[in-house]
Structure formats: C-alpha cells, structure tokens
Amino acid sequence: MVSRVVKGRVADRLTNEGLPLVRVIIKGTTQGVETELDGTFTLPNVPPGSVTLLFSSQDYGEREVRVGPAQREVNVALDNIFSEEMVVVGRASELARKHLTNSVASVNAEEMNRAPSQTVDQALQGKVAGANIQSNSGAPGGGIQMRLRGVSTINGSSQPLYVIDGVLVSDVAIASGVWAVTESVRGSNPSATQDNQVNRIADINPNDIESIEVLKGASAAAIYGSKASNGVVIINTKRGRAGEPKVDITQRLGMYTLANKLGTRKFNSAQEVVDTFGEDALEYYTPGRNYDHEAELSGRRDLSSETIASVSGATGNTKYFASALLRNDEGIIANTGYEKQSFRLNLGQTIGDTVEVNVATNLIHSLGQRGLTNNDNASVSYYMVMPTAPSFVDLRADANGVFPRNPFVPNGSNPLQTAALTRNDEDVWRLIGSGDATIHLWKTDENHLRLLANAGVDRFQQENRLVFPPELNFEPVDTFPGTSLYGTSQVRNLNGGINLVHTYRPASRVLSATTSGGVQFEERRIDTTYIVSRNLNAGQPGVDSGTVIGVRDNAQHVRDRGYYLQEEVITLDERLTLVGAIRAEQSSANGNTNKLFLYPKLASAYRIPSFHPLVNELKVRLAYGETGNQPTYGMKFSGMSALGNVQGTPGLVGTGVAGDPNIRPERQREIEAGVDAMFLGGDLVAELTVYQRAISDLLLQRTLPGSTGFTTQFTNGGSLRNRGIEAMLQVTPVRGNFEWTSSATFALNRSKVTSLPVAPFAAGGFGNSLGSFFIQEGASATQIVGNMGVDENGRPIVKKIGDTEPTFTLGFANTLKYGDVSLSFLWHWQQGSDIINLTRFLYDDAGTSEDYVSRGRQRATDWANSNASVYVEDATFLKLREVTIAYNLPKSWVSAIPKLQTARLSVSGRNLLTFTSYSGLDPEVSNFGNQAIARNIDVAPFPPSRSFWTSLDVGF
C-alpha cells in the first residue's frame, strides 16, 4: 500500500506564531506526532486517499482538517482557547466563549491542580470572581461553603447546584450527631449545623477534573430552574483522546502543620492566680512554669501521602480514561485525619456515523476523622475547655497513660485526654455514574438534527461512629457514663432527560441557529437514622452495649419534572448573538405539585468590529434571567410528633409549626451587563460585569395567632436585592524562553432587604449581648446587630455593629516559566467582613486570654456594660493560598528510562502565609456550616493548618 508524508505548520490565528507541542493525529487511528518549537510537523505513513487530521492543544481549540488524496502540505491556524473554548449555555447546547451572552467563569485542570488540595471547592478559592468560598474550620476532609453573588435566601437552601458529567449530584452536609454529647443544639433536629459537617462535594477527586464552569448569574443558570438560585457549578471530568495510550503517575509526600495559635495568659505572680481562680488554684501554681496546651493538642506533623495514576487513549472507536487515587492526610490533632480512595472509568464509543455513547463512573471511599470542636453546652470540645485550663496546669498523661482532671472546670474535662480517647469518624462510600447517547438523526451541509438522551445516579452511604468512653473525665456528661453513637444516611439522586437539538448553518453563513428542547426527570432522597447509646457496659464501644438507647429517624423524598425550549442565533457575520429560553418545572416540594413554574431568560451579545490593530476582540453583552429556590422539604406539611403523651397514652401531638399548602419557590430575577475584550493578540484579556438581582417570594416564618392551634408557619413573602461588580484581567507581559502570565479577579456585592411583610427577626447568632444576625427592611441582609450602651431607662440600645459581606475580594495569580523551571503562586485578599469572635469571649471570661492584662480585662468590662462590638472583629486578610515550584527533568535523564516521556519534580504549599488583624485562629471561620445568613461565627473551631508537598509526576 502506497503511503505519503504530510508536512505542515500550526500557528496562532491572531499572531501567526508557530505553536509547539500541538498533537497531530490521523482521525480514527493512534498514529500522530507533535509539532516542533516553531510549529512545524512531519507526519509519515499517511494512507492514500482523503484523511482527516485532528489538531489538539491544551491552550487552543481543537480542530479537524480534511487532507485531499494528493495533498502533502497543510497549514493550520488555531484559535486561542479563550475565544474558542466551548461553554455550556443550555441543557444540551454550548457556545464558543467569544459568543457568550453572560459571564461564565472557567477553571481548567492546570489551574485546579497547581497545588494539591483536599477538595474541589478548596482548589477554587481565590480563582473565581464573585465566588465567596469559605472554609468553615481547619478540620481535615473539607467543610466549605460557596456563595455566588451574595446572599440569595434567608431560610432556603444556600449552596449552589453541582453538575458532574450531566449528573445533578448531592452536596448535602449531614450532621454527625455529636450534638448528642455536646448539647450544642438542644431539642433541635438531626440536621443540626454545629457539628462541623462535611459538604459532600469534598468526595470528588480534583485530579479527575478537566474543567469547571461556574454559572453565577440567573441568565446563565435559568435552564436549571428552581435549583439554580445560588448558581450552578458544572464539572467536566477528563476523557480519552485519540492517540497512543498515555499513562501519568504522581506521587506526593507532605505534611500539615499548625498555622496559628491563640496563645494564653502567663501568670506572673501568685496574686494574679488568686485574683483569677481563687486560693485553691495556688496548689497547681509554680512560678515560671508554663505548659503550651495548644502545641500539645495540635502540634502533630505526621507524614501525609497521595498517589495518583491515570491512563487515557483510544482503541478503534473507543476512547477511555481511567484513574485511581490513594490519599492519606494526617491531622494536626490526635485521632484526626482524612483518607480517600477513588477510582474512575470514563468510556466513549462511536457506533458508525450515527451514534455516540459516553459512560462515566466514579467509585469513592473516604474516612474523615473530625475530632471534637465547635460550640458546645457541656464543656467538652477542645477549645471550649482550653480557656479554663491555665498555662501553669499540666494536662499531659502520666507514665501510665492516665490523664489528670482539669481542676478549673466542674466536669474535669481535659482536652488532651478528649483528643486521645474519643472517636468521631465519618465513613462514606459513593458511586456516581452517568451515561449519554447522541443519535445523529439528520445531517446535511446546512442542517444537523440530534437526539440526546442522558441518565445519571449519585448514590452514597454516610456512616458516623462516635465513641466517648466512660473513662473520660467529663463522663458521665449526661448522668450515664459512656456514650456511643451510630448514624447512617442513605442519599440517592437520580436524573434523566431527553433532548432534541437542531442546528441550521446555511452556506451563505448569514446566520446560524440552534434550537433545543427537552424534558427532565429528577429525584433526590435522603434517609437518616441516628442511634444514641448511653451507659456503656464495661466500656464496650458498640451501640448495643448501652442500657439507655434513643433513636432518631428522618426521611426526605422530592421528585421534580422539567421542560424547556431554547433558541440560539448567531448572525451579522458572527457578531451578534441572541439567546432565549424558557423552562417550566413541577416539584413535589411545592404546595401545588402540579403547578408549572416558568423560568425565562433573554440575552444578547455583540462583537464590535476591530477599530485598532491592538484590539482583537471587544464584546458587549446584556442578559436577563429568572431562577428559583425550592421550599425545603416539609414546609408544606404541619409538624407532628409521635412522642407525645395524651393522658398516659402515646399519641400524635402537633409541633406548633403549620404547613402552607400554597408554598412555592423563591423567585430570583437578575439583569446583567458586561464587556469582554482581548488585546495584543491575547496577551491582555479583560472582563467586566455589573449585575442586579432581586429575590422575591422569600421563604419566611411568620407568627400565627394562638387561636389557630399553631405558633408559626413558613410562607412566601418579602424581597431582597443584590448589586455587584465583577472583573477579571489576564496579562502575559513576557513571552519566549521566559514567560510570565498574571491574572486577577475582583468582586464586590451589596445586599439589601427591600420588603419584609413579617416583623423584623433574628436569623442566628447568640443574642444582642454578643451579636445577632438581624433581618429588617431597608438594611443589609447580612448585618450584625448588638447592644451598644443603654438608654436613660437602663435598656440596651441595639445598633448595627458589623456585616459579614466583604467590602471586596481579590485573587491575584502568577505563573513564571524559564526553560524547564516554573513558579506559580496565588494571593487571596478579602477586604472587610466581620466575625463574631466568641472564642475570644470565652478566654476573656475565664481570664486567660493572652492579652488579658493589657486589653482583655477592659473588653470584658465593656461587654458587661452592654457593648457587644468588642467581640465583633474585622475579618480582612491576605493569604498566600498556593505556591508551587516545578522543574521538568532533562530529556537526557528521562530518555534513560524506557517508555518514559516526561518527568517533573515540584514543591508546593497551601495557605502558607496569612496577614490579618483578626485575633482568632482564622478569619475564614464559620462554625455554623453552610448557612445563608448565620456565617462568620467563631466558637472553638478546629485550628487551621498549612500544608507542604513534594511531588514527582511522570508520563509514559
């Protein structure tokens, strides 16, 4: 068989510079080459006849080029990925970024994994304008909340919707049940928010991700209807590509170290001890002797590790990607840490010229050891007890391993003993699977009609096992020595859909139009059971070893149906883009399950013709959209308790909360305008967006007359507004052997309650004496109010003393490359935002804060005189989020190992530096988890840590 050689050159369309390392593959085979430094290539053994060459590069859009039977030379121009990158704009359609009509933030695999991160959301911190991503505590295994464009609800769900390969996955945060011992939520339900929960997006392996798209605005997210009020995060995992199999292996070793300490007061005289603790304290006091309880508690630096392996490629018409992850993070406190194992298999199959099928599967197992932190009402968690343990008391175990009682707290709780003996484990098995099929029903030069079907499942089981043995000093904390708790949660999300997509591209190229429509069915179910066993027999840990056993059970089941129609038109020489869509939804969470709620969107963008050689792209855009936020499960039902006692006989008794048969989703309407620009051949890229979003039909709780037999009821009413600005700037000031790329993101948001049909109310906090979140018309939705002095009658004067909304946030990332060496780092600046620092209050109240003599005593006096502002602090910070130094090993070294193509050695760190005036452990703390309003409360959290990693990456 006669073959030929095809030569050519691949260049940047705008600059005509040759592009190195572009893969050139004969489509349908694994045969190919990579371009040289000047963009040229020589492809041997090309079959006779017409063939299709596939050109692909990480930084440029993929392109197919047909080569004729007699053709032996081809020149190809590729578009910068910023303008040609395809972005999801509907349930089954996408647009090139240059045609986008609204702001969509994209983060690629390289940006995601420059420095190792435990979770996906942690890897996004500081990289997305308009995304306030906050770590609730420093506990290993996650626990992060993401807020897009300000607060969008008061009592509804506050987390964004996550979609992975088409599957609407669960990000639910389920309480461990530690409240049974800490009594942090006396009388509350099992979904309590003070248990330092993990949001389950933490399960996903960041190394499997190809790209992430964040739909922040209602216009971009409207096609997801009543689940999209808090934004949508679309995650696309890696897929196989044409070419020979490629194997990548990464081995990392690292450690976590304590990033900050609160410190404690050093007592300089016996009189100070007596004044603070009384005469009996002198028994434990020796002048000049001090113990560092924080270092003893959280000073571990054990070795952590991560092993990642992946293989990708294609065989015939089958593309494949498989990966495996083994991760072990050792916590800085005894019996804390995080283990994860993950396996992924993604397959793509082409069947003839008509059918394409993709399947993605991900099996995950994780074990999080969370320790005992956060607020409690039993004086048992580490930092609730530390203030009552002065530095002159030795809390360490003796030679026999016996820990002394803490003499300065009634129950004798010793945080070092608690860390050594308690168990708080969260074990999760999870399976995420998706499949989609595309059938090309009709395809001509001008028309393309496709049928797309997809289905997905997200199923996980979370098991929580907590053991508090009887030998703990604080047992019996509840009159029964020893407590064991077992919690199991079964969570299942199902979704499926059928879509019909027609694309019309006439030969005249006057316009192109894409029409899509479809139906979706979605279901989510959560079943949670807790068994609490007390008075453990002989200290056995099983829940069957106690004599006092209690059970709690909770079940939630919601089904949704959705229908949509969308039209996208590109015309005027591809300069004008018009997008319109409407979605209709029904949900069993609504009062009327059959009522259709409509969510429309309209958007347009115009690419202004270039008026200067330095201006490559200039686009203006305007978009309007509506989204919703479903009522939480059960708001339409009246609460009933089966534990009631009616004249000695068990019976159902109302809880006092009335259901609303007319409850409906909250409604968000947003208008967004922006400008996107590209200058200097892509060396300067800028985006600017302004928006206003109005949320109406808020889910509020109103007081009912006693004559109704109820006390409160959830209902729709009231509204709030957010206004904000977002900006992104990317600059490449230097190219060549030395290359420097710098990018910055900026965002600010302001909220206001514009209507409130119920009386102003507190939405969390610890009352006006310490600071409370207060919802009132005309005020910021995230304000903190508190006592500020007293009036002439001695009554406290309540005023605004803070606000959790930052003044602005800014991320600043840089990558510098010189030959085989590269340096990348990311700074994250938050200006403003306030925190209620109750940990400082606890230390002041005990007289043990590090600055008690100089300032703490005065703070305590001011607070006693009705000044809550002394414990509300500025949360401004500047953090070095990530830093990585990498070295590509010389090819002469690499070629010495058969089949080895690349090898890289790198050193990384995360959260290495923090500059802040905040006196607590971490200015990002939020003890109450993923809450819409009650954030930024610091009550005895898990301390923050830095991480250091050394990595070796090899490719075969």
Asked if residue 363 has pLDDT above 90, the reply is yes
CA nearest to 911, candidates 326, 374, 258: 258
What's the confidence (pLDDT) of residue 190? 38
Rg (CA), the chain: 30
The DSSP element (H or E) to which 600 belongs, if any, is strand 597-607
Q: In the structure, what pLDDT confidence band is assigned to residue 61 with cuts at 50, 70 and 90?
A: low
What's the confidence (pLDDT) of residue 492? 96
Cis peptide before 387 (omega within 30 of 0): no
What's the confidence (pLDDT) of residue 62? 72
Mean pLDDT of 396-403: 93
What's the confidence (pLDDT) of residue 191? 42
Mean pLDDT of 553-582: 93
Q: In the structure, what pLDDT confidence band is assigned to residue 607 with cuts at 50, 70 and 90?
A: very high
CA nearest to 305, candidates 950, 879, 837: 950
Percent of the residues in the chain that have a pLDDT greater than 70, as a whole number: 97
How many angstroms separate the CA atoms of 749 and 806, rounded?
A: 8
What's the confidence (pLDDT) of residue 81? 56
Each residue's pLDDT tens digit, 323-333: 999 999 999 99
Give yes or no for a contact between 415 and 222, defined as CB atoms under 8 angstroms apart: no
Mean pLDDT of 5-30: 82
Each residue's pLDDT tens digit, 870-902: 999 999 999 999 999 999 998 888 888 888 888
Give yes or no for a contact between 666 and 684, defined as CB atoms under 8 angstroms apart: no
What's the confidence (pLDDT) of residue 84? 58
Each residue's pLDDT tens digit, 124-179: 999 999 999 888 888 888 888 899 999 999 998 888 999 999 999 999 989 888 88
Q: Is residue 864 helix, strand or coil? A: helix
What's the confidence (pLDDT) of residue 51? 87
Structure tokens that stand for 837 in this block: 């620092």
Give yes or no for a contact between 592 and 559, defined as CB atoms under 8 angstroms apart: no
Mean pLDDT of 289-297: 94
How many angstroms separate the CA atoms of 581 and 165, rounded?
A: 22
Asked if residue 539 has pLDDT above 80, the reply is no
Strand 783-790 to 761-765 pairing = unpaired
Q: What is the 3-state secondary structure (H, E, C) of 107-154?
A: EEHHHHCCCCCCCHHHHCCCCCCCEEEEECCCCCCCCEEEEECCCCCC
Q: Give the list of residues 6+ apart from residue 485 with CB closer than 8 angstroms, or none.
A: 176, 177, 178, 180, 181, 464, 465, 466, 467, 530, 531, 532, 533, 543
Asked if residue 187 has pLDDT above 50, the reply is no
Nearest-10 Cα torsion for 804, 810, 811, 817: -160
Each residue's pLDDT tens digit, 845-859: 999 999 999 999 999
What's the confidence (pLDDT) of residue 219? 86
Give yes or no for a contact between 226 and 628, defined as CB atoms under 8 angstroms apart: yes
Q: How does the average pLDDT of the chain come out, rounded?
A: 90
Kindly tell me the sign of the dihedral angle through the C-alpha atoms of 266, 268, 270, 274: negative
Asked if residue 355 has pLDDT above 50, the reply is yes
Structure tokens that stand for 197 in this block: 């929960």
Q: Give the list of residues 6+ apart from residue 281 with CB closer than 8 angstroms, or none.
A: 273, 274, 390, 407, 408
Asked if residue 619 has pLDDT above 80, the reply is yes
Q: In the structure, what pLDDT confidence band is assigned to residue 15 with cuts at 50, 70 and 90?
A: low
What's the confidence (pLDDT) of residue 445? 84
How many angstroms separate the CA atoms of 225 and 213, rounded?
A: 17
Q: Give the list of residues 6+ apart from residue 732 with CB closer than 8 angstroms, or none.
A: 682, 683, 684, 739, 740, 741, 742
How many angstroms separate the CA atoms of 202 and 843, rounded?
A: 33
What's the confidence (pLDDT) of residue 765? 87
How many angstroms separate the CA atoms of 277 and 271, rounded?
A: 10
What's the confidence (pLDDT) of residue 406? 93
Number of Cβ within 10 Å of residue 50's Cβ equals: 11
Asked if residue 33 has pLDDT above 70, the reply is yes
CA 314 to chain centre: 33
What's the confidence (pLDDT) of residue 395? 95
pTM of the model: 0.90
| Nearest-10 crossing angle of helices 838-846, 857-864 | 100
Pick 656 or 426 by higher pLDDT: 426
Percent of the residues in the chain that have a pLDDT greater than 90, as a whole number: 64
Asked if residue 939 has pLDDT above 90, the reply is yes
Asked if residue 22 has pLDDT above 90, the reply is no
Strand 63-67 to 51-56 pairing = antiparallel
Q: In the structure, what pLDDT confidence band is assigned to residue 456 with cuts at 50, 70 and 90?
A: very high
What's the confidence (pLDDT) of residue 65? 86
Strand 4-12 to 73-78 pairing = parallel
Asked if residue 103 has pLDDT above 50, the reply is yes
CA nearest to 181, candidates 589, 681, 533, 652: 533
Q: Is residue 305 helix, strand or coil? A: strand
The DSSP secondary-structure symbol of 57 reads -
